[in-house]
Structure formats: C-alpha cells, structure tokens
Amino acid sequence: MITWDDFAKVDVRVGRIVEVSEFPEARRPAWKLRIDFGPEIGVKRSSAQITNYTKEELEGRLVLAVVNFPPRQIGPFLSEVLTLGTYRGDTVLLVGTDAGAQPGDKLG
C-alpha cells in the first residue's frame, strides 16, 4: 500500500503528440514521440511501445504521461517522460482523456 502523499508526488499531465519517429534501435518495437505539455513544461521526448498505433493515429492525439520521473536512456534515445498505457497481452493501449483537456492539465 502507498499513501495519498506518495501518489501525490507523481505528476501526470495531459500532452499532445506532435511528432512520431521510427525507433529501429529499440530492443522491442517502439516509436519515438515528441509530446507538447503546454507552456509550463514544454515539449518532452518519450519512447513508447505502442506500435499497434500508426503514426497518423498518434500525431495530434492527447495522452497522459508522468513528467517527473528522471530521464531514462533507451539505447541511443533519452526518454524524458513515461507515456501511460494499459496492457492487453503484448499490446499497449494508450490512456487518454476527454477532448476538452489541454496540454499541461494535471491529473488530480
């Protein structure tokens, strides 16, 4: 069990995917994402194993991501945020939000 204070330390924000690139160096199939979290946080990079989505399905999509984990080196790519998803077998399904949400909105 964790406390409410533990959970409150996790900063989850709404972001809009603005760029999707191939990531052939990844051990498991993944995309390299650039996600805009609004003026307070800016654009951050994320590696995400969500290849069940096309580039076209991802670009412009609102997602939720943890923005206060330390960056993580994934091969030659530095992932700055953790894009959130759920697992169904080997498939990752993105966690999203309603269309009225704006980049930078905080989960609370």
pLDDT of 56 higher than 90: yes
pLDDT of 68 higher than 90: yes
- Which 3 state secondary structure label does DSSP give 55? helix
* Tokens encoding 46: 């994320």
Domains by residue range for the chain, with CATH: 4-94 (2.40.50.140)
Q: What pLDDT does 90 receive?
A: 84
Residue % of the chain over a pLDDT of 70: 100
- Which 3 state secondary structure label does DSSP give 57? helix
- The residue among 65, 10, 69 whose CA lies nearest residue 36 is 65
* Tokens encoding 40: 């307070």
| pLDDT tens string 24-50 | 898 888 999 999 999 999 999 999 999
The pLDDT confidence band at residue 63, using thresholds 50, 70 and 90, is: very high
Q: Give the global pTM.
A: 0.94
